[in-house]
Amino acid sequence: MKYIWSTQELLDGVRAEEGTGTKWHFFFFGEHSTGNVVDIDPQGIRLHVHQAHDEIIQVLQGKATMQIGDDLHEIKEGDLVCIPKGTPHCPRGQVTLLSIYAPEWDKDNPDRVFVE
């Protein structure tokens, strides 16, 4: 099992995903958390909540407007964002994010509920 990734490895992994638009690259599935890199399409991801997961996000590249609840925040490379479960959120802008879900992500039952 791999335990250490460079930022470049994370960026290269998500860019290797096929297709256009927003891409997710899951690089770690642990017993209590899951790590993925998300390359956001400039239109962003629709407003959503995670009913069973907290999400911790670090901006790897780019910048975006992040809606958390009713508030809008400008985020940029290096920023860290913590989103408790049940909190509506969405990034809008061309940005690549490191995202950690806790507890672990269930590939067979994704926990993303759109609220728009």
Phi, psi of 22 (to 5 degrees): -65, 135
pLDDT in tens, 39-66: 998 888 899 999 999 999 999 999 999 9
In a domain, 95, yes or no: yes
How many domains are contained in the chain?
1
Q: Output the pTM of the full model.
A: 0.91
Residue at 1 is within a domain: no
What's the domain range around 83? 7-114
Q: Residue 47's domain is classified under what CATH number?
A: 2.60.120.10
What separation, in Å, do the N-terminal and C-terminal C-alpha atoms of the chain show?
A: 38
* Paired sense of beta strands 113-114 and 48-49, if any: antiparallel
Q: Within 13 Å and on the Cβ side, how many CA atoms surround 43? A: 5
**Token pair belonging to 84:** 């408790």
Band of the pLDDT at 19, cuts 50, 70, 90?
low
